[in-house]
Structure 1
Amino acid sequence: MAQRHRAERAAEHGQRFEQLLDEHSQVLHLLDDTAALRGLARRIREETGAHIGLAGPVEPGEVLVLRQWDGTWATGLHDLHVAMGLGLGGLAVAERRPVWVADYCSSELITHDFDVPISADGIKTMLAVPMVRGGRVRGVVYAAMREVSHFGGRQLDAAVNLAHSGGLALETASAARRQRERAAAAERRRIAAELHDSVGARLFRIGAELRDLRTHSRSEGAELLNRLASLEEQLAEAASVFRDSVHALDHDEPSGGLAAALSRACASFERRTGTSAQAVEVGEVPDCGAARTRVLLAAVREALLNVEKHADARSVLVSTIAVDGGVAISVADDGHGWSESEGKGIGLRTTADRLAEVGGTLSVVSNEDGGVTVRIWMPLP
């Protein structure tokens, strides 16, 4: 009886954990612009009955870029740059209102700079709705049909509502990104100051000593040898301090906190691979101690390494939340997925074993819209 009761409680906790992860995923759409845009492209198809959904932000230089798509045949619209006023999306941005055409390539309402990629996807009727928030256009969401048709009131209302929620998501994601950048910049300044005060000062003294040796190179041999020996000791000390500093930078000692360490891990991944990577923290995440932070950080790095090797992803999101008496981290990519064997490599198995030693878990699941999510959970001490 007791065993069955424990099994039922475990099942109940597991179900609650899955529900919280689903809620977590919904919240992330307000913190990650890539996830928000991907969801918009999919949902506008579902809610308007369109053949194609597109979504993109207005990026620096006031250029609209189609970053996410759903239902396309060709690749001409993928990452397409649209200047203000050009095409249907550029017109929507310039006029800050929804616009649509029944037959794109013959319409006199718009310019025809993009007829080639539009025709390659067989697009006829097309709707573009700007995502306006805080007095500015954050992006545009499109619905397109491969036949001459029209968008009714219900479809227009659904598209406008989606654009409103998309504008909120992009605004919130932008604020979250600025906050992360400020935290990362503060951490970099702290490290730079430590390097300046430690290694920099020692190297300055060594340089001064070398200049002095050059000036007095004609002094007696024994004195010169003694001074050279002293210089060698200083060099060894400086090298040791420098190695320790590099080790701290490379391994993210937990003094900077889990959030800052994850941000640096994402920045390192992005520099190394060219793939967009962001770290977000949902709500307040309590400190889980230096040792457990190192285990979590190692697990995230292993997950990112697997994304690099297997996923061919365009973006990665690392999200952290306090849940079920512990800390949960999700590493989600939008790649083509991993094979079963790739998801059971020695690196992930070893990482799972290390997490298990402190009561944690690791699982790899496929996302409904493509890609893979590595879920990491560790109980608080």
Structure 2
Amino acid sequence: MDAQAGKDEDAQAVADAVAELARRTRFPVAFGGLARGDAITVTSVQGARTHHLDGLVVEATRGLGGRAFVEKRPRLAVDYRTSRSITHDYDRPVLSEGISTLFAVPVIVAGRSRGVLYCGSWGQSTVGDVVARPAFAVAQELATELRVRDEVRRRLAAMPPAPASVAPLAPAVQEELRESFAELRSLAAAVTDASLRDRLAQLEQRLTSISRPADALAPDGAGVRLSPRETDVLACAALGSTNGEIAATLQLKEVTVKSYLQSAMAKLDASTRHAAVAKARRAGILP
């Protein structure tokens, strides 16, 4: 994937988040964007009556969003026009839109500010938990989406092409591939975007093809179809994780993990989890 395609996908993720922010908070105006260097470029606007916010570039530390970005915490201006806690570099676009109350929430990915989401109203409004909680949730969901996208891009860039014939891999390399596969499965569980899930699936297939043993697709594993959650659980079990550890990783109840594991074992006609893992590897389901 080229850099522009990645930027376009991230911009779409922001647009989805802004739409969700407007829906959940019920504030009439919502907008946001990601950082490009030391500035946030607004790429999505919902509910505005003018075009003054379109393409707005907010420098770090400047204005309400710039402070939220640098301080990595939400910032609120109940009366934006008279607020003394921010610089007023962006009064023209904000006030031209008629915004009075403005709430800015940073999008934090791996401890780093990646962007800012805003919601605002044309009159002075209080921002209590009813507004703050959903705004925080949307920012966190966007952060998770960006983190997954970053990880997929990193792994795709580092992934060698699948060879026509697979020679045995060194044990350390094989183990790293299996850990990567399990991690990708856990990331995929938190993703709702269909295109991103498809790319994760493609990456998982490449991992399994690179590490597939010579007896892959053996008769005892051919044709087996595990559900996504059965594959998640078995991928963690392949690393030696206990049911409790798998439950914590996948945010499931331990009894649910046990149920998925038993179902996978039944489909693979295996009496133990170790046998199930071995058959799944031969079938090309796990690396």
TM-score (norm 1): 0.40
Offset at 1:43?
A: 1.1
Offset at 1:78?
A: 1.4
Deviations 1:124-178 (A, max 9, x none): 1010011112111111111110111111112101111111111111222233344
| Distance across 2 between alignment mates of 1:281 and 1:173 | 9
| Distance across 2 between alignment mates of 1:106 and 1:93 | 21
Q: What amino acid does structure 1 have at the position aligned with 2:146?
A: L
- 1:143 and 2:119 equivalent? yes
* Partners of 1:138 and 1:171 within 8 A in 2: no
- 1:281 and 2:199 equivalent? yes
Offset at 1:179?
A: 4.6
Q: What amino acid does structure 2 have at the position aligned with 1:37?
A: V
> Which has more radius of gyration?
1
| Distance across 1 between alignment mates of 2:97 and 2:57 | 17
| Distance across 1 between alignment mates of 2:101 and 2:51 | 19
Offset at 1:181?
A: 5.4
> Which structure 2 residue ranges, 5 or more long, are not aligned?
1-7, 162-195, 207-287
| Distance across 2 between alignment mates of 1:87 and 1:149 | 19
Q: 2:242 is matched with which residue? A: none
| Distance across 1 between alignment mates of 2:134 and 2:96 | 27
Q: What amino acid does structure 1 have at the position aligned with 2:92?
A: V
Give the RMSD, CA atoms, in angstroms. Answer: 2.6
- 1:161 and 2:137 equivalent? yes
- Equivalenced residues, count: 164
Pick closer, same or farther for the CA change 1:155–1:181 going to 2, 3 Å.
same
Q: 2:12 is matched with which residue? A: 35
* Partners of 1:51 and 1:144 within 8 A in 2: yes
| Distance across 1 between alignment mates of 2:152 and 2:202 | 14
TM-score (norm 2): 0.52
Q: 1:79 is matched with which residue? A: 55
Deviations 1:66-124 (A, max 9, x none): 11111122222112111111011001011111111111121111110000101221111
| Distance across 1 between alignment mates of 2:21 and 2:118 | 8
* Partners of 2:11 and 2:33 within 8 A in 1: no
- 1:96 and 2:107 equivalent? no
* Partners of 2:18 and 2:45 within 8 A in 1: yes
Q: More strand by proportion, 1 or 2?
A: 1
Q: What amino acid does structure 2 have at the position aligned with 1:54?
A: F
The one of 67, 82, 87 aligned to 1:111: 87
Deviations 1:265-311 (A, max 9, x none): xxxxxxxxxxxxx9x72413879xxxxxxxxxxxxxxxxxxxxxxxx
| Distance across 2 between alignment mates of 1:175 and 1:66 | 24
* Partners of 2:59 and 2:66 within 8 A in 1: yes
| Distance across 1 between alignment mates of 2:151 and 2:41 | 20
- 1:48 and 2:25 equivalent? yes
Higher RCO (C-alpha 8 Å, min separation 6) = 2
* Partners of 1:66 and 1:81 within 8 A in 2: yes
Q: 1:57 is matched with which residue? A: 34
Pick closer, same or farther for the CA change 1:134–1:115 going to 2, 3 Å.
same
Trace 1:227-246 onto structure 2 (pairs within 5 A): none
* Partners of 1:77 and 1:118 within 8 A in 2: yes
